[in-house]
Amino acid sequence: MFISVLCRKYHLPTTEAEKSRKRNSAVKISSAESINAVIIGASGYAGSELARLVAAHPALALAGIYVSESSNDAGKPLAQLYPRLRDVVNQPLQPLGEQQLAHIKQPAQVVFIATEHDVAALLVSALHDGNKLIVDLSGAHRLASASDYERYYGFEHPFEAALNQAVYGLAEWYTDELAQAQLIAVPGCYPTASLLVLKPLASLLANLPVIINAVSGVTGAGRKPKQNTLGAELSLQAYGVFSHRHQPEIERYSARAVVFTPHLGNFKRGILASIYATVADDVSHQDVEQAFSVYQKQPCVRVGHQQTPAIQDVEHTAYCDIGWHLNGRQLIVFAAIDNLLKGAASQAVQCVNLRLGLPQTAGLPL
C-alpha cells in the first residue's frame, strides 16, 4: 500500500512501456558551465556533508535542498541544524511535495538522493527521465535482484530494471562505466573500505572466506535518535552478525565469500576495517605490493606496507588509507575512511566528477 500510494503521488511509471521509454533515454550533461544540482535528504549527516561539498564545488551550483513533507526540519535553514554551515549553505530545507518534485524535474541536471532506501527507490523511478544524472547514496540500487531487497532491506523493490542500469560508484574501479552513467549507486561505507582492499588482491588470495571486522562511528547509524546511539548507552558493540545488508554488497563486487561483522563505536565518525585473508601459495611481499600499486595514480587512496592507518588521519577528508602486513600466507590489511565522506558524500561527488570529465578531486576535501 505504501508503495502504491507513492507511485500515484509521484506519478511513477507503472507500465513496462513507460519504464522502457525512461530506460532508453540518454543523459546529456555538459560541464561547460555550472551544473544545477539538488539534494533530496539534505538534513541527514551524509546529506549535510554533501550540501557543503556541492556548495563549494567549482562546477556545481546548489539549486535546492529537500526533505520530506512530514519532516520537522522542513523550512529550517540547513545551517540551523548544522551551525558549521553558516555562510556556507544558507538555503532552507524545502519540503518535497508534488510541486517541488515537478520543479526538480525541470532545472536540475544532477540529483543526489540521500534518503531511506525504500524512498530512494521510488524517487529514482520518478526522476529517471534520461535528462539528468541521479546519484543515489542509499542502498536501493547496489544489489543484483529485487529478492535481495526483501531479504536484506525489508522492502519490495518497485522497479527491478533500475538495478541493471545502475553503475556502482566505487570511483577507483569503475571509471569508464561512471563516465557514461545515468544512475549511480554510491557504495556503502563498509563496502567502500572493504572493496578498496579486496579488489586489488583478487588474484592473490586463496579460495577461502575473508574475515572483515569493521568499526564505525555513531554517525553511521544515522541522525534519527535510537537508544543505542544515546551518549549514556554508547560503547563498542558488534551488530548485524551474519545479517548485515553490506555483506552481500561486498560479496557481489569482490566475487568472494566474506564473513563480515560490523561494530558500533563510541566516537562520532570514521571507519576502521580490519581484513584477514590467506594468500595463495608462493605469494610474496612483492606480489602484494604490486597489487596495491594500482592506486599509485589514484588521488584518494594512500597505501603503506607495515602501516596501521588511524581514523584521525582520514577524518573530514576524502581519503582511504590502507596498510598491509604479510606473515607467511596470512595477510592482514587495515583500511580507514571517513564514513560520511569517502564512505558517502565525497565519493558521490567523486563519481559526478568522473561523469562530467572533471578531475576526480574537484571540490573534495583532501
The string of pLDDT tens digits covering residues 47-80 is 999 999 999 999 999 999 999 999 999 999 999 9
Q: What is the DSSP string of 238-292?
A: E-STTT-THHHHHHHHHTS-EEEEEEE-SSSS-EEEEEEEEBPTT--HHHHHHHH
Q: Residue 362 falls within a domain, yes or no? A: no
Q: Are residues 31 and 176 in the same domain?
A: yes
pLDDT digits (tens, 9 = 90+) for 349-365: 999 999 999 999 999 99
The answer to whether the beta carbons of residues 188 and 139 sit under 8 Å apart is yes
Name the domain count of the chain: 2
Average pLDDT across the chain, whole number: 90
Lowest-pLDDT choice from 82-91, 179-188, 234-243: 234-243
Least confidently predicted of 134-148, 177-191, 225-239, 289-303: 225-239
CATH number at residue 138: 3.40.50.720
| Structural domain includes residue 114 | yes
Do 194 and 270 have their domain in common?
A: yes
C-alpha cell at 304: 603503506
Is residue 189 flagged as an active site residue? yes
Asked if the model's pLDDT at residue 345 lies above 80, the reply is yes
The CATH number of the domain where 300 resides is what?
3.30.360.10
pLDDT at 314: 98
pLDDT at 104: 83
User: Looking at residues 338-349, what average pLDDT do you find?
Assistant: 98
Residue 366 falls inside a structural domain: no
Range of the domain at 330: 190-337
Q: Is residue 221 predicted with pLDDT exceeding 80?
A: no
Q: Which of 103-117, 153-167, 251-265 has the highest mean pLDDT?
A: 251-265
Residues 6+ apart with CB under 8 A from 159: 12, 13, 19, 121, 124, 125
Q: Is residue 1 over pLDDT 50? A: no
Q: Within this chain, do residues 349 and 328 fall inside the same structural domain, yes or no?
A: no
pLDDT at 235: 82
**Tell me, what's the pLDDT at 7?**
45
Are residue 348 and residue 208 in the same domain, yes or no?
Answer: no
Tell me whether residue 365 is in a domain.
Answer: no
Threshold 0.75, pTM exceeds: yes
Q: Is there a single domain that holds both residue 132 and residue 202?
A: no
Instruction: Give residue-wise pLDDT tens across range 177-198.
Output: 999 999 999 999 999 999 999 9
Q: Which of 7, 189, 300, 320 is catalytic?
A: 189
Q: Which pLDDT belongs to residue 168?
A: 98
pLDDT at 326 over 60: yes
pLDDT of residue 5: 38
- Predicted confidence band of residue 103 (pLDDT cuts 50, 70, 90): confident
| 264 and 158 together in one domain | no
Are both 158 and 291 inside the same structural domain?
A: no
Angle between helices 117-127 and 2-9 (to 10 degrees): 30
Residue 213's contacts (CB-CB under 8 Å, 6 or more residues apart) are 261, 263, 273, 274, 276
Give the β-pairing of 133-136 and 110-113: parallel
Residue 91 domain-assigned (yes or no) = yes
Query: Are residues 45 and 122 both part of a single domain?
Result: yes
| 62 and 89 together in one domain | yes
Note whether residue 244 is domain-resident: yes
Average the pLDDT over each of 144-153, 192-201, 287-296, 319-328 and give the range with the smallest value: 144-153
Note the helical H segments in the chain: 2-9, 16-24, 45-56, 78-81, 98-105, 117-127, 146-152, 161-165, 175-178, 189-198, 246-254, 285-292, 345-356
Instruction: Give yes or no: residues 176 and 216 share one domain.
Output: no
- Considering only residues 207 and 32, tell me which one the structure prediction assigns the higher pLDDT: 207
Across residues 288-314, what is the average pLDDT?
98
In a domain, 319, yes or no: yes
One domain for residues 236 and 164: no
With 60 as the cut, is the pLDDT of residue 24 above it? no
Q: What is d(CA 361, CA 359) in angstroms, rounded to the nearest whole number?
A: 5
Indicate whether 32 pLDDT > 70.
no
Please tell me whether residues 172 and 63 are part of one structural domain.
yes
